Amino acid sequence: MRLLVTGGCGFIGTNFILMMREAHPDWNIVNLDLLTYAGNRLNLLPLEASSRTASGGDYSFAHGDIRDPEFVSALLEEHRIEAVVNFAAESHVDRSINDPAPFVSTNVQGAQNLLERARRHGVERFVQVSTDEVYGTLGPEGRFSESTPLAPNSPYSASKAGADLMVRAYVETYGLDAVITRCSNNYGPYQFPEKLIPLMFLKALRDEPLPVYGDGRNVRDWIFVDDHCRGVELALLKGRAGQAYNFGGNAELPNIELVKTLLDLLDKPHSLITFVKDRPGHDRRYAMDYGLASRELGFEPRVSFSQGLTQTIEWYRDNAAWLDQVQSGAYRDFMDQWYGERK
């Protein structure tokens, strides 16, 4: 397959490309990434260095913007792309609260541009990587299914829902063969240290206060990134055009429990936990019914939360240089401002 992956230098995109290279060494993979503060080309440098596989597959990196029509068209043409998986996005809820504009620009307009280029160039399959957050929030009971109405609460989730609706419009109007995946909270290697698990890991190692929002009782369903990547692969290969598929990890946890577990694994005291001002519009609970993906695609999460968390901690311990290197000035400026306001 000749596959365009966008956002492949981010957390999930990196893991997806590494997994696809192993699983399908005959694929030609082009990674289009803008290298924002969250993108790190070094993640996949070994693939650039030995791009050709013995099975005739290839990997190449293209520095560019999913919002750029000419750039995307040229790439689709040059590599005769058959399928697109769109991971590229502004992905952090807190940043979207600070400044929604880049989220609309990349997540909605960027997705629309990719869809349009895909349509014009006869791309055979398009996978839009979306999120459970498009469904909004749950009370103590129930789970999101694919028929749950979209009710996003943050500028981030609203922009992802906007893209989902645009995908639907391209399927209905132009007959584009596109599917949507909606996954719960990912964790694992290469996650940028603004998200809960790597941020708390970093703070704990430095014996700094761990900032838990509100009362810490907000619940997330955690999935190891490899399980999400397998889900995206299944949607790419077997998904039904026009269908959205939920993926979840069967690991619902209140934030405070997760943070305590992490501290225990790191042998650090719970006294490092500091409750800070809540995130505005903070969704209370996410939980996923992934029965459809299970029945139609054969999706099941394989990695338990305790296995995945141990593996993740090991990776961050072994890759301290990676953690140092991704903390750019832009990262520090945002963190100082955001957490300064939460005291």
Distances (CA, A) of 313 to 153, 201, 252, 261, 316: 31, 8, 19, 12, 5
Of 33, 90, 132, 164, which one is the catalytic site residue? 132
Question: Binding segment for ligand TYD among 29-37, 43-51, 165-173, 212-220 (CB under 6 A)?
Answer: 212-220
Using CB under 6 A, which of 74, 104, 199, 323 touches ligand TYD? 199
* Residue 331 binds ligand TYD (CB under 6 A): no
* Residue 292 binds ligand TYD (CB under 6 A): no
Would you say 167 and 126 are in contact if contact means Cβ atoms under 8 Å apart?
A: yes
- CB atoms closer than 10 angstroms to residue 67: 18
Residue 133 annotated in active site: yes
Tokens of 195: 């998200």
Nearer to ligand TYD, 83 or 232 (CB): 232
Cβ 145 to ligand TYD shortest distance, Å: 19
* Residue 6 binds ligand NAD (CB under 6 A): yes
**Cβ neighbourhood burial of 249 (10 Å; 0-12, 13-18, 19+):** buried
* Residue 95 binds ligand TYD (CB under 6 A): no
Angstrom distance (rounded) from CA 212 to CA 204: 13
DSSP 78-91: HTT--EEEE--S--
Task: Extract the runs of DSSP E, i.e. beta strands, from 148-218.
Answer: 178-183, 185-187, 210-213
| Total number of residues that touch ligand TYD (CB under 6 A) | 12
DSSP 144: B
* Residue 255 binds ligand TYD (CB under 6 A): yes
Which of ligand NAD, ligand TYD, none sits in contact with 238, Cβ below 5 to 8 A by type? Answer: none
User: Could you give the residue numbers annotated as active site?
Assistant: 132-133, 156
Q: Which chain residues interact with ligand NAD by CB under 6 A?
A: 6-7, 9-13, 32-36, 38-39, 65-67, 87-89, 91, 106, 110, 129, 131, 160, 183, 185-186, 192
